Each structure stands twice: as C-alpha cells, then as structure tokens.
Structure 1
Amino acid sequence: MTLPHGPLRPAPGEPPQTGPLPDPAAVDPAVLAVLLARHGWVRRGGPSARYGRWTPPEGTDPGVSLLVPAGDGFDDAVDLLTDAVTALSRSASPSARAILLALAVPGDELHWHRDPAGPPGAATPGTAPWEETERLRRAARAMLAAGAKAGRTRAAYFGARLDTWAGDFLDRVLVVADGPGLTAHSPAPEGRAAITTLVRALEALRDAVDYRRVSGGAEAFENAVQSGVSRELVDAVQDLVRGATASRFTVAWSAAAGTPGGFGDRRTAVEFSPGDLPALAEAAELLERLEPAVAVTLVGLVVRLKRADPAGPGSVRLRVLGGAEVDEVKVRLPDAAYRLAAEAHLAGTPVRIGGRLERRGGFRRLTRPSGLEPCGLEDAERDRLLKTLGEGREA
C-alpha cells in the first residue's frame, strides 16, 4: 500500500516516528470531524454552518485546538485543514496519530488489545513487552487471514487452502503497533467482505462459547461455521487469550465508506477471557474433524522428486495450477507413475492426477492417487505458468 504525503512529526520529548501524513487538500472535513469525535475530541462553539473548534480529550494536550470547516466548499477550507493536519502532527495526544493515520489510509480500523497477566507495574504504562507485541501481531494476522478465507467460502477447517487469497488480502492491510495494543487499517469498501465476515464470525464464536459453558453442548460450534467460524479463527483467538487476563477485538468502520449494511445497531467489540480456553480447545478439535477429505483432479507442475530405491515408489511435490485452491501438494506414487512424473519434470510438462486432499497436514497431501498423465498447456495457461515462475516462487 502506498502511503501519501510526508512523515508524522514526533511530539515534544518523543523519538522520531515514521508514518503517513495526509494531504490536507484531500481531507474530507466531515470525515475528519467523525474521526475527532470517535477519538474523544470535543467540539466547542463556532458557527456550525462554517466551522467547528475541536479540543483533545481532557488532559491529553492542553491548549491545542483545531478549526475544522463544515465543508470543503469554503475559500479557506484547505488553509484550515492544513493548519489542522499540522497541529495534529505536532500534538502530544495519543489519539492525534490515530486520526492522521485513519485520514491517510482510509479504511476500517481494527484494534486488538490484551491485558497481560503479571504483577501490576511489570511494564511501563503505554508500552508492551516484545513478546506481547509479537503475540498480538501473530494473532491479528491469523484472524485477518481466517476472515479473508471465510469471506470467500465457508469451511470448518481450511488448512493450506486459499492461502494465496488470504496473503493477497493481508498485503493490503496496514498494521501499526499502538502502545499495548495493535491497530490495523483494512481498505474499505473493497476489503469489507473479509472484515464483516470476521466480525460476524467472532460474535458467533463468542455466542457458541457461552452456550458451551452454560449448556455443555458443542453443537453451536458446528452451526457457527455458517457465520465464518473455522479452526484457524479459533486457534487465533486462543493465541490472543493465552497468558492474558482478558482480550478484546474492536472495529471502527471507515468514516468515509460508512457503516456496512446490517451493522447499524450491532456491537462491534468482542471479548474473550482465559475461562474460555477449554471450550475453544474443544471447538478447534471438533472443527478439524468436521471437515472431510476432498476428491479432486489436479493439474500441476512437478517441482520435486524423491525416493530411496531407484526401482521403488517415491514422493513428488506438485505446484498446483488448477483443480484445488492450494499452492502445492505432496503425493506418493508407485514406480511407474513416479517415472512418468520424472519424465514430465524433465520436459517441463504439467501432469493431471486424481485423488483425495486429506485434511491431515492442512490439505497439503494427495492420497489415493490415480490416472496420472502428462497434459498439454494452452497458450494462455503457459503464459500464466511462466508469470508464476517469474514471481520468484520455488521451482
């Protein structure tokens, strides 16, 4: 993602920080007003038809105020917005940086927070130990990937399926450490399918855990799959909760794109605690068991061969070109099929093979192989293959 304009200026006494500074001419005054209100800034006086004067939350940066025009149709609108952006970039208020980032990278704002277990005062207020930051990043990345996959299709357990799809989505998300928490900005509205699915899935998981703890029944986890819950999402929540007294996930919808349909009166914050871990562990095991093996016919390029006996069976790795939403699979072949795969590898010719993608190992293994045969490539397919190889993937 390309970040516009220049860097944020540090507040007095703080080390230099890098980050996007929005172009004042591109700032929508209405969006800026929404963001200021969202972060606790207070509007004080001023003719509402022309401008509003905003001050930061109580005690965070005394003496600072912003004049924000009511619209961009006034002659002095850009000048006022320039002054407002400059004041925010120099403000000591923690919310000022969040507001500037939201203006520079428009999108839905997601926030993860953990209350780590440990004696009070173990860490400096407003900071997080290195391990905490790494855990937050790992859990946040896993949650976003699970949301992206579930936004494409529902599954109790994805494994390696749709990894490329999720990776493409993650590349468009900007993640910023925010003191003891972590904030991500997801593009809106183009990234909305992943985020709305993630929110609904977390709410469904929260309800299913509550139902399990009250009733003792685990069927709610199976029903929650239709809302986007998966083994991967449950694992991410467990990672977020372990070693903490509480964890929270919140969403602030993009002020520019507006609230997505169906979320007007819905809560956008979900909490989990260590007391949920037994139910989450049970859910993870159940969801993996629910997902069956998948019968597929793959077209792939042989990229690796290995066998111990020159006249016996061997294992090959295929880069999948079609037939399944995984990047690579491993398959064990008898001698004759292995020789055919070796010839295809030497000739650079793809092969077609049938079998079953097994959930064990994350749908990376093809069992019961049958019908292996070399297959030709159409010109368009050959171009796609050459492009894939040129992108630096393992060959």
Structure 2
Amino acid sequence: MTLPHGPMRPAPGGPPPAGPLPDPAAVDPAVLATLLARHGWVRRGGPAARYGRWTPPEGGDPGVSLLVPAGDGFDDTVELLTDAVTALARSATPSARAVLLALALPGDELQWHRDLAAPAGATTPGATPWDDGERLRHAARAMLAAGAKAGRVRAAYFGARLDAWAGDFLDRVLVVDGGPGLTAYTPAPEGRAAVTTLVRALEALRDAVDYRRVSGGGEAFENAVQSGVSRELVESVQELVRGATAGRFTVAWSAAAGTPGGFGDRRIAVEFSPGDLPALGEAAELLERIEPAVAVTVVGLVVRLKRADPAGPGGVRLRVLGGAEVDEIKVRLPDPAYRLAAEAHLSGTPVRLSGRLERRGGFRRLTRPTGLEPCGLEDSERERLLKTLGEGRGE
C-alpha cells in the first residue's frame, strides 16, 4: 500500500503512531471536522465562521486540543491543519489514528469484527489467534467479492461467474493492518455500487434469517436475491460468524464523497451470531439450488485437450473470450467435434459453440454442446488476444 504523504514518526516520549500521515495541505477542513465529530470529538467555542476548537471524547488524551479552520480560504489554514495533523499523530487517543487513516485513505471505511471468547490463560488484551485473523480476512474478501458481483447483476449463485469483475474491484481496496478487527477502504464514489449493494444485501439477509427463525419459512431468502443476497454472500457471513460469539460489519461513508442516496444519516451496522448458522446453512443450499443453468454461445480458445481413446470423445478446456462471464469452461465433445477442436488449438483459431452452463462446478462446465465451429479473427486481433491471455496467465 502506498502511503499518501509519508510514514508517521513517533513523538518524543510518546507512543509510536502507525499508518500513513496525510499531507496537511491536501486536507479539507470540513472533512476533518466531519471525521472528528464522527469519532466523538467535541467542538468547543471559537468563532463559528472562522475556526473550531476540538477536544478528544471523554476518556481521551486531556492534553490534546485541535484548532480546525472553518474553510480553506484563510491565510493560516495550512498552518493550523499542520498543527492539527501533528497533534493527532502524537495523541494517545485511539480515535486519533482512525481520523488520520480516514484522511490519508479517502474512501468508504468498512470494518469487520469477530467477537471471541477469551481463551484460557490469555493475558494480552486485543490479541487474537493467527487462524482467526486469517478467517476474518478470508470472510471480508469473500463478502466484498459477493457485493461487487451483485452490484453488477443479481444472482442466487454466481460460482465462477464475474470473478474477473470482482477481482478488479478488490484490487482497488486498501486494507489497514493493526487494531481490532479488519478495516478496509473502498474507492468512493466510483466503488459505491459494490458497497451500497453489499449493505442492502446484508440487511436483507439479516431480515430473512430473523424471518426464518420466527416463521420457519425459507421463502424470504429467495426474495432477498433481488436485494443482492447470494450463496457467496451467505457463505462469507458463515465464515465471519463460525467460531466466534458474534460477527459484525459496519460502514462509515467517506466524508469527502458524502453519504450515498437512500441511506441518510443512519448508522450502518449488521451483526450475526452462531445462532444464525442453521438458517444460513439452509439459505446457502437453497440459493444454489434455485439458480438455473444458463444457455450460452461462447467464443474461446482451446487451451487443453484430453481423451483416453484416439477415436472416442474427449474433454476440452476453453479460455473464454466472450459469451459467458467466466474465465474458462470445460466441455466434453464427441469425436468429430473433438478433432475440430484439436485443429483449432494447433492453429490458434478461436471456436464458437453453444450449450448450457451448469451451476454444478461453479458454472465452469458446458453441457449439451452443439454447433462447434472455428471462427476467424484478424491477425492483429488474434495476436492481441494471445498476448493478453499469456500475460494474464503466465503462459
């Protein structure tokens, strides 16, 4: 992760701050004031039209006081912001670090927490087992990927579909290590579709689980698909909760980008508990079962062939170029079509064929194949595709 301004340096005699230090000249005073208020800091006195003096929340560092200008049109704005950022960097108040991180990494702040029972003999506050940290990160990544996919199209079960789309989104997410739980910053406003969909989907899943536990009916899970709920999202929540006393997801919208439409000023926090796991397990099975196979016509490059009998059917793997939102598919072809696929492989010619993309195996298998035929490409286009595929796969 590239630091926007530089590493924080420890204050003489004070605790060593961690994380990126924002450039005071790039700090928006209104954003800083919003973040201070969000984290419980109190504005005290000062001419409202010129500046505000902020002190830490109750129980914080009593020696810290920040003078924050009301805007960036004053001669001493950068000087005051420099003093404020320096004071935050030296403060022992926990929320000071959170404010600095939000300034340095602009975007929506997402947090995941797993509440754990204290292990016997544990003496270090805030310490968590290594495996638990890995589980938390895996759950968060899966949850973000599910939100990114649902932000583009609704489905009860995605499988391998839209993996590339989700991967592109995850590449733009910044993860902050240290502190309780896991914190990530997603780009705002350009990454908002994934995050807003994720929030609505988790809230719909929370409601559906409550309905299932009260009424015994599972139809709410099916209805929640339109809100972005998928099997992948359910599995990420299971991972977040399993082995913990509770799992919690919260969002603080970017102060610079503002609150997205339809969310108002309400606090975004969704929590699940181990008591929800039976209902979540039923939901995962249901959502995969109701997702239908997809009729597709794909264009792809033959990258692997295998058959036991020289005159019999064989398996073929295609690198998909178009027609389906997966990277690769497997298909079993009869002898004539297999020979045609082998010829296309030797010549580097893409092929086109139709069939049904089955949910079993994560939508990576094409059944009932028909109409296999080579489809020509211009030499320049073929070279571009082959170069792209080689770079992307290390081939």
TM over 0.5: yes
1:16-27 → structure 2 map (5 Å cutoff): 17=18, 19-27=19-27
Q: Distance in 1 between matches of 2:243 and 2:121?
A: 16
Please state whether the residue corresponding to 1:48 is helix, strand or coil.
coil
Name the aligned partner's letter for residue 293 of structure 2: A
Deviates more, 1:381-390 or 1:307-316: 381-390
Match of 2:314 in 1: 314
Please state whether the residue corresponding to 1:5 is helix, strand or coil.
coil
1:1-395 → structure 2 map (5 Å cutoff): 2-10=2-10, 17=18, 19-119=19-119, 122=122, 124-378=124-378, 381-382=381-382, 384-395=384-395
Q: Distance in 1 between matches of 2:42 and 2:265?
A: 24
Please state whether the residue corresponding to 2:245 is helix, strand or coil.
strand
How much has 1:312 moved relative to structure 2?
2.2
CA contact (8 A) 1:150 1:228 kept: yes
Q: Deviations over 1:100-136 (max 9, x none)?
A: 1211121111111111134476362233222221111
Please state whether the residue corresponding to 2:247 is helix, strand or coil.
strand
Distance 1:215 1:128, change over 3 A: same
Please state whether the residue corresponding to 2:304 is helix, strand or coil.
strand
Q: Distance in 1 between matches of 2:17 and 2:27?
A: 24
Distance 1:342 1:203, change over 3 A: same
Please state whether the residue corresponding to 1:220 is helix, strand or coil.
helix
Q: What is the aligned-residue RMSD (CA, Å)?
A: 1.9
CA contact (8 A) 2:308 2:314 kept: yes
CA contact (8 A) 2:113 2:181 kept: yes
Name the aligned partner's letter for residue 367 of structure 1: T
Distance 1:380 1:57, change over 3 A: farther
CA contact (8 A) 1:133 1:177 kept: no
How much has 1:149 moved relative to structure 2?
0.3
Q: Deviations over 1:229-259 (max 9, x none)?
A: 0000000000000011111111111111111
Q: Distance in 2 between matches of 1:344 and 1:73?
A: 66
Distance 1:81 1:61, change over 3 A: same
Q: Distance in 2 between matches of 1:306 and 1:14?
A: 62
Q: Distance in 2 between matches of 1:290 and 1:345?
A: 36
Structure 1, gaps ≥5 residues long: none
Distance 1:188 1:375, change over 3 A: same
Please state whether the residue corresponding to 1:221 is helix, strand or coil.
helix
CA contact (8 A) 1:128 1:179 kept: no
How much has 1:272 moved relative to structure 2?
0.4
Q: Distance in 1 between matches of 2:394 and 2:307?
A: 20
Q: Deviations over 1:66-109 (max 9, x none)?
A: 11111110000001111111222222222222211211121111
How much has 1:388 moved relative to structure 2?
1.8
Name the aligned partner's letter for residue 173 of structure 1: V
Q: Distance in 2 between matches of 1:296 and 1:389?
A: 22
Please state whether the residue corresponding to 2:52 is helix, strand or coil.
strand
CA contact (8 A) 1:246 1:272 kept: yes
Deviates more, 1:339-348 or 1:269-278: 339-348
Q: Deviations over 1:29-78 (max 9, x none)?
A: 00001111111222222222211122223333231221111111000000
Name the aligned partner's letter for residue 35 of structure 2: L
Name the aligned partner's letter for residue 368 of structure 2: R
Structure 2, gaps ≥5 residues long: none
Q: Distance in 1 between matches of 2:228 and 2:81?
A: 41
Q: Distance in 2 between matches of 1:324 and 1:37?
A: 47
Q: Distance in 2 between matches of 1:143 and 1:229?
A: 11
Q: Distance in 2 between matches of 1:349 and 1:97?
A: 56
Q: Distance in 1 between matches of 2:10 and 2:297?
A: 57
Please state whether the residue corresponding to 1:244 is helix, strand or coil.
coil
Q: Distance in 1 between matches of 2:154 and 2:231?
A: 11
How much has 1:339 moved relative to structure 2?
1.6
CA contact (8 A) 1:198 1:228 kept: yes
Name the aligned partner's letter for residue 313 of structure 2: P
Q: Distance in 1 between matches of 2:316 and 2:156?
A: 28
CA contact (8 A) 1:8 1:21 kept: yes
CA contact (8 A) 2:344 2:350 kept: yes
Q: Distance in 1 between matches of 2:386 and 2:141?
A: 30
Please state whether the residue corresponding to 2:393 is helix, strand or coil.
coil
Name the aligned partner's letter for residue 207 of structure 1: D
* % same residue: 87
CA contact (8 A) 1:60 1:93 kept: yes
